[in-house]
Amino acid sequence: MATKVIKNGTVVTADLSYEADVLIENGQIIEIGKGLKGDEELDATGCYVMPGGIDPHVHLEMPFMGTYSTDDFESGTRAGLAGGTTMVVDFCLPNQGESLLDAIKRWDNKSTRANCDYSFHMAVTWWGEQVFNDMKTVIEQRGINTFKHFLAYKGALMVNDDELFASFNRLSELGGIAMVHAENGDVVAEMTAKLLAEGNTGPEAHAYSRPSQVEGEATNRAIMIADMAGVPLYVVHTSCEEAHEAIRRARMQGKRVWGEPLIQHLTLDESEYFNPDWDHAARRVMSPPFRNLKHQDSLWAGLQSGSLSVVATDHCAFTTEQKRNGLNDFSLIPNGTGGLEDRMPMLWTHGVATGRLTPNEFVAVTSTNIAKILNCYPKKGAVLVGADADLVVWDPEKSKTISASSQQSAIDYNVFEGKEVKGLPRFTLTRGQVAVHDGEIRTQEGHGKFVEREANTTVNKALSTWKELTSPQPVKRSGIPATGV
């Protein structure tokens, strides 16, 4: 089997930076050291050799709000690779009454075109005996240990608190991890109806209908319910101080909770919704909406201090034409924005180049932390002998202006249009195959493989041990008092 060697770079992992070559064979790293030789050489002079990015939050070809998100597993993973991301995790969404296993079949069919490795989270979109039973099969036979719950999207994906508690309890039993989209869907529905009745129909009203309080409330509620059920909790798209505050407090109390800000919320703000161009504003409609500087500062501080763990994209890309479904009613604008190609360069430019993050922290929040949470480390998220050769050779001097005209995504605009980034991949490797070669895209459709992830992670084990130790116990009494009859 031919070997490849990445030469003359600096290996940067979540906890170390050092000069070394990396030798690859059969899709895996087989040696790390100085002066290595291989059949093919990739020159990393002046570059950082890092674990490829993992984006744990994408929606490729997602059926949503009367349409399908436009980037599919082919264009979505191609966009990811172009920006240094080598693994994505999509959300498998059962229809009402549909078995979880049937939903997985639909996702299996869509994902055969992936250019890089991928995994699924399962969503709990309804509750019943079938879901209860299927959860065990999904975990034990399909290698999916993460289950998402929508507290928003009333009448569609939303689950109520009784269902949430039942599902969290089941996950606790099975050693799974709970995830939540945390916005109070009842309040959002009420505010949406009121805004529309008052003639607030434009995209700016999307932001008015989902203030930070609805996110803070739902995040805190999910944390408390997860604590009562004894299940670890991962909060997706944490966008505001109120939600971050709840996560920070929970972590300081020893609760097993992680928060995931998106690159969009870190770098774009609510003024986008006040743009006089309807298309410009509608293209940026997503939930939660972009916020103001106070919230952005909170998210950056969370990444710096470790109270927030992962930067994702929630890549869910709709064309301008699809967005125009909501021309007369903002609540019909499909929710979602793109970001797969831009997450790593934008985070490097606004995080590492500004001194907010170290290069090692960059690796932690784009790759290693989530690989550990999802239980696929060190196969993914590591530069170690035996790990998959999912690598990015990162050139901190390479720059470009982000533009829809040169992007891989299939949509007709980019929410980061015109932004300058400095820090881009020279090479991206997916299981040893060079998918990006100095600006040239060499992806191979169907190369991506499903990544199975076992339940009962070390965090699950620690939490269940602690919960058992502190669970309610009957008081042992020496005798029962006479009833006095």
Residues that bind Zn ion (CB under 5 A): 181, 277, 280, 314
Q: Give least dist CB 421 to Zn ion, A.
A: 19
**Residue 15's binding partner out of ligand URP, Zn ion, none, with CB under 5 to 8 Å set by partner kind:** none
Q: Give least dist CB 183 to ligand URP, A.
A: 8
Query: Is 287 near ligand URP (CB under 6 A)?
Result: yes
**β-strand pairing of 21-25 with 17-19:** unpaired
Nearest CA among 124, 114, 100 for reference residue 58: 114
Pairwise CA distance, residues 224 & 137, whole Å = 27
Site residues (CB under 6 A) for ligand URP, limited to 149-188: 181
Nearer to ligand URP, 59 or 379 (CB): 59
Question: Could you give the 3-state DSSP secondary structure of residue 299?
Answer: helix
Nearer to ligand URP, 251 or 315 (CB): 315
Query: Is 336 near ligand URP (CB under 6 A)?
Result: yes
Query: % helix / strand / coil in the chain, to the nearest 5?
Result: 35, 20, 40
Q: Give least dist CB 287 to ligand URP, A.
A: 4
The DSSP annotation for 224-254 comes to HHHHHHT--EEE-S--SHHHHHHHHHHHHTT
Give the C-alpha distances (Å, rounded to integers) separating 83 from 133, 351, 402.
39, 16, 11
Output the six-digit token pair for 394: 């990162």
Give the C-alpha distances (Å, rounded to integers) separating 167 from 148, 226, 241, 350.
10, 10, 27, 38
**Residue 42's binding partner out of Zn ion, ligand URP, none, with CB under 5 to 8 Å set by partner kind:** none
Residue 26, Ramachandran bin (φ over 0: left; ψ between -120 and 50: alpha; else beta) = left
Q: Give least dist CB 278 to ligand URP, A.
A: 18
**Residue 280's binding partner out of Zn ion, ligand URP, none, with CB under 5 to 8 Å set by partner kind:** Zn ion
Contact pattern from residue 289 through residue 328 relative to ligand URP, giving x for each residue in contact according to CB under 6 A and a dash for the rest? -------------------------x-x------------
**Residue 419's binding partner out of Zn ion, ligand URP, none, with CB under 5 to 8 Å set by partner kind:** none
Query: Is 209 near ligand URP (CB under 6 A)?
Result: no
Query: Is 247 near ligand URP (CB under 6 A)?
Result: no
Output the six-digit token pair for 107: 């996702």
Give CA torsion, residues 232, 238, 242, 243, to 10 deg.
Answer: -10
Query: Is 259 near ligand URP (CB under 6 A)?
Result: no
Residue 313 makes CB contacts below 8 A (sequence gap 6+) with 55, 57, 58, 262, 263, 264, 338, 339, 340, 343
Q: Which residue is nearest to ligand URP (CB)?
A: 335
Q: Which of 6, 50, 286, 389 binds ligand URP (CB under 6 A)?
A: 286
Nearer to ligand URP, 227 or 260 (CB): 260
Strand intervals (E) in 230-348: 233-235, 257-259
Nearer to ligand URP, 286 or 374 (CB): 286
Contact pattern from residue 11 through residue 40 relative to ligand URP, giving x for each residue in contact according to CB under 6 A and a dash for the rest? ------------------------------
Strand intervals (E) in 298-419: 391-401
Q: Which residue has the tokens 């084990």?
A: 461
**Residue 335's binding partner out of ligand URP, Zn ion, none, with CB under 5 to 8 Å set by partner kind:** ligand URP
| Residue 428: strand pairing partners | 392, 436
Query: Is 264 near ligand URP (CB under 6 A)?
Result: no
Handedness of CA 270, 400, 367, 148 (dihedral sign): positive
Pairwise CA distance, residues 56 & 310, whole Å = 9
Nearer to Zn ion, 195 or 282 (CB): 282
Q: Give least dist CB 48 to ligand URP, A.
A: 31
Query: Is 55 near ligand URP (CB under 6 A)?
Result: no
Q: Give least dist CB 277 to Zn ion, A.
A: 5
Nearer to ligand URP, 272 or 314 (CB): 314
Query: Is 206 near ligand URP (CB under 6 A)?
Result: no
Q: For binding to ligand URP (CB under 6 A), which residues are involved?
A: 59, 181, 286-287, 314, 316, 335-336
